[in-house]
Amino acid sequence: MSIHTENVELAVGDGTSMRAYVASPRDGASVAAIMVFQEAFGVNAHIRDVAERFAGLGLIAIAPELFHRTGPGFEGSYDDFPAVREHTGALTREGLEADIDATYRWIQEHPKCDPQDVAAVGFCLGGRVAYLANARTPLRAAISFYGGGIAPDLLPLASRQHGPLLMFWGGKDQHILPEQYRAVADALSQAGVTNEQVVFGQADHGFFCDKRASYNPIAARQAWALVREFLGAYGVLP
């Protein structure tokens, strides 16, 4: 499928401006949209590629730059995590919620987006943001890859989740321990939220990204197949 890519500027409710990368099918009628939330390394080549993969499935994908307040255009190195700390450390829940609102509003106002068919996906930092977005906006579905910090900080939002959740974890991930992702699963189940929890036993944190040393091609391929099935099952994919 032929796709179109562009950068757009979004007005955020706190008075800031946020750039976002958009990938969309060139042709077709009104389609579903998906918000793609970045890792701690910015809207880099990997995140742009993910957005383009979703566009290739027929979705309009938008990846907002969550570091727009401290580092517009920032793309960090996977070998230099200290360089991203000034940006991750400056994030606030209020700021992220404003960014989610701005991204969701852009989708609602886009002439080719079906306003009822909106999903979210996120990786690491973005996995937490996808969970937050699903609590804040009426999403049809949400996907979180190794979302850190959901447990314990965001567990109270379990009862506010709108769409069903698909969540991926790495069995060898030393950043998110089993007791943390089990706490997430328990909170969602106790709240009556439809959720699927997938643990790849031989995968580490960041296993989906082929630019990282922790890339696990088998887990990544299986996860992508599950993502497609999940979005299809809940009416996001055509």
Q: State residue 27's pLDDT score.
A: 78
**Joined tokens for residue 195:** 């959720």
Q: What's the per-residue H, E or C state across the chain?
A: CCEEEEEEEEECCCCCEEEEEEEEECCCCCEEEEEEECECCECCHHHHHHHHHHHHCCCEEEEECCCCCCCCCCCCCCCCHHHHHHHHCCCCHHHHHHHHHHHHHHHHHCCCEEEEEEEEEEECHHHHHHHHHHHHCCCCEEEEECCCCHHHHHHHHHHHCCCCEEEEEECCCCCCCHHHHHHHHHHHHHCCCCEEEEEECCCCCCCCCCCCCCCCHHHHHHHHHHHHHHHHHCCCCC
What tens digit of pLDDT does each residue of 192-203 get? Answer: 999 999 999 999
* Cα→Cα distances 16→126, 136, 165, 194, Å: 20, 20, 30, 35
What tens digit of pLDDT does each residue of 21-64 get? Answer: 999 998 777 799 999 999 999 999 999 999 999 999 999 999 99
pTM: 0.98
Q: Domain boundaries in the chain?
A: 3-233
3-233: CATH, from 3.40.50.1820, 1.10.3720.10, 3.30.9.10, 3.30.479.30? 3.40.50.1820
pLDDT per position in the chain (238 positions), as tens?
Answer: 799 999 999 999 999 999 999 999 987 777 999 999 999 999 999 999 999 999 999 999 999 999 999 999 999 999 988 889 999 999 999 999 999 999 999 999 999 998 999 999 999 999 999 999 999 999 999 999 999 999 999 999 999 999 999 999 999 999 999 999 999 999 999 999 999 999 999 999 999 999 999 999 999 999 999 999 999 999 999 7
Q: State residue 1's pLDDT score.
A: 74
